[in-house]
Amino acid sequence: MTDRAPVARAGRPRVAAVVGVVGELVITLGVLLGLFVVWQLWWTDVLGERTQAQAIASLDWDPRPLPPAGDEPTATATPHREPAPVLDEPASGTTFATMVVPRWGSAVLPISQGTSTDVLDVLGVGHYDGTAMPGQVGNFSVAGHRVTHGKPFNRIEEIQVGDPLVVRTEDLWFVYRVTSTEVVRPVDVEVIAPVPGEPGVSPTEAQMTMTTCHPMYSARERYVVHARLDYWLPAAEGTPVELEPALGST
């Protein structure tokens, strides 16, 4: 018995040393995970908002609706409901349009071509390749992050049926009206078909679809908003009346 005691006493410092090293590693890992969370949830928003503001500033036209001058009402024009002029699909990464969701206030979101991470993580809202362009018969479909990277679609669940979605290109305004919302699986890509939910069917009207991850902080599902084109008007003729409440929040 007396011969075994020194061995036992020698083993205890080794165990303590191992426990100490493991403890330090766990603390270090916790710090790194904390820094990662800060980077992912805060710093990517800072960078995203900055680059999206730069994308808007780089446009050759001012996408912001003009506020009323003094007590005069916002200049509005007669809505157009005949077929709208349609842009060609631009090169990947090109910012070609903006959108305002009046329910969210006056924030102007840039829309750029493509839905790769190079677009969504940097430029905000991305236009699905091959889907209709603004005002075109078919399904103008866009995606955006709900959290991180500027989170342009963070408040998507607040959108209600009947709400306007206002899209602007250099020369035209397009006002869509929300018709429905739904939650689908990531594999349910028919939501961005020319006729949403009906792949292979030829479209007869201009629609718009917004998609983002769901629920918050998860990519398990997709939250989807569908809308139908109400009218369009040339930017030179005025500003959509639907933007007047948003202008009041500036």
Query: Is 213 known to be catalytic?
Result: yes
Q: Tell me whether strands 109-113 and 125-127 are parallel, antiparallel or unpaired.
A: parallel
Query: Is 12 known to be catalytic?
Result: no
Helices (H), 58-210: 117-123
Which residue in the list 127, 149, 168, 222 is annotated as catalytic?
A: 222
CB environment 165-174: b (16+ within 10 A), e (fewer): bbbbbeebbb
Which residue in the list 127, 146, 168, 213 is annotated as catalytic?
A: 213
DSSP per residue, 137-184: SEEEEEE--SSSTT-TTTTGGG--TT-EEEEE-SSEEEEEEEEEEEEE
CA distance 97 to 108: 10
Query: Is 155 known to be catalytic?
Result: no
Which residue in the list 145, 146, 168, 226 is annotated as catalytic?
A: 145
Write out the two tokens for 244. Answer: 């007047």
Catalytically annotated residues? 145, 213, 222
